[in-house]
Amino acid sequence: MEMNLDSVKVVGFDADDTLWVNETYFRETEERFAELLESFETKNKIDQELFKVEMQNLDLYGYGVKGFILSMIECALQLSNHTISNDTLQEILDVGKKMIAHPVELLSGVEEVLQKLENKYRLIVLTKGDLLDQERKLEKSGLSKYFHHVEVLSEKKEENYQNLLEHLEIDVNEFLMVGNSLKSDVIPILNIGAKAVHVPFHTTWAHELVSKEKEKSTNGYLKLESIKDILDYLKH
């Protein structure tokens, strides 16, 4: 695909599953959760119910690990018909804490890309989720030094992006967003008139999935297999 990115001056990067691995740890934790509850339900049913509880709680808890742990506990009480053992609940708490304390694993090519772009563009991080958790991951990642600004948003909708660009005095024509989620990093960005690069991660949370139709009807963004390929389109 041909795309002219000459007007770009500011590049925004999503963080989870764009700069570093994230969804994988949620999937591993879901596996463990299903094992802990295997005497009550099938793995499929447990996955479905956990997702349902998460979605019911999303408005209240928002994104991030703490809400996920609370939803696992609620789901365990429900699925076991209030017969889950205290030991299992303690293990759910422990698994959750392990997720928060997990080392940060950078995705391939990320550091090289940031190094090559940092002198030609203003680089920023735009992520959603838990504030403390995202700040901590950025700190652990060693990538802070490349970014002029880091913003943790409670949602990634058009309005959130618009307010942020206004606040940072960034012209939409000069803004390029790079991320793994069509729903959060690409579609709202195209809708406000900025540019977007989609770098899919092998695993996508069901909440972030868009329909095949929606995917097909979304045009005008650049899809790349690896973040490294962005160097073919930007100055460095």
Interface residue with a second copy among 61, 118, 172, 190 (CB under 8 A) is: 61
In angstroms, what is the minimal distance from the CB of 111 to a second copy?
23
Q: Does 91 bind a second copy (CB under 8 A)?
A: no
Q: Which residues from 14-43 bind a second copy, rule CB under 8 A?
A: none
**What is the 8-class DSSP label of residue 225?**
S
Q: Which stretch binds a second copy (CB under 8 A): 74-82, 172-180, 197-205, 213-221?
A: 74-82
Output DSSP code: residue 148. Answer: S
Among 100, 172, 190, 192, binds a second copy (CB under 8 A): 100
Distance separating the N- and C-terminal Cα atoms of the chain = 20
Residue 66 engages a second copy in binding (rule: CB under 8 A): yes
Interface residue with a second copy, options 21, 43, 67, 147 (CB under 8 A): 67
- Nearer to a second copy by C-beta: 8 or 164? 164
Residue 130: exposure state from Cβ atoms within 10 A (0-12, 13-18, ≥19): buried
- Cβ contact 14:179 at 8 Å: yes
Sheet holding 222-223, edge to edge: 149-153, 122-128, 10-13, 175-179, 195-198, 222-223
Interface with a second copy (CB under 8 A), residue from 93, 166, 207, 235? 93
Site for a second copy contains 55 (CB under 8 A): no
What's the count of helices (H) and strands (E) in the chain, helices before strands?
9, 6
Name the minimum Å distance from CB 17 to a second copy. 20
Within 10 angstroms of residue 28's Cβ, the number of other Cβ atoms is 14
Say whether residue 104 binds a second copy (CB under 8 A). Answer: no
Asked if 83 touches a second copy (CB under 8 A), the answer is yes
Strand 195-198 to 122-128 pairing: unpaired
Interaction between residue 109 and a second copy (CB under 8 A): no
- Distance in angstroms (rounded) separating the CA atoms of residues 103 and 162: 32
Residues contributing to the site for a second copy (CB under 8 A):
60-63, 66-67, 69-70, 73-74, 77, 80, 82-87, 89-90, 93, 96-97, 100-101, 130-133, 135, 149, 152, 154, 167
